[in-house]
Amino acid sequence: MIRRTMSIFGLAALVLVGLGMLFNSSATVAANTPPPASTEVKIDNFSFTPVTLTVTAGTTVTWTNRDDIPHTVVSADDPKTFKSKVMDTDEKFSFTFTKPGTYTYFCSVHPKMTGTVVVK
């Protein structure tokens, strides 16, 4: 009887150790996973700043209109990869770049305003 009790306790201890290792390793994986990358482009004084932005694939770019007049952010490729609504002061538009390449864009309200996102 004592031997059986010891076997049950031994098995229970192994299960608890195994579960502890499982939970500990999943916490480590979560802690080591970098957060998604993000960056900002400011729209001010009829320009995009920075004009050219280089990011890694998976980065979210957010454009913020700091101008007193409306602007848009529209990709120059056809079909359009991204297109914002008309943004008033302090409104934002975000897009996540998942594929490497060079993406040029412009403001459809003021087409001479242009910018580029290079995705590596």
CATH class of 38-119: mainly beta
pLDDT score at 53: 98
Asked whether the CA dihedral 61, 67, 71, 77 is positive or negative, the reply is: negative
| 38 Cβ neighbours under 8 A, 6+ residues apart | 59, 60, 61, 62
- The pLDDT tens digits of the residues spanning 32-66 come to 666 678 999 999 999 999 999 999 999 999 999 99
Domain boundaries in the chain? 1-33, 38-119
Regarding pTM above 0.75, the answer is no
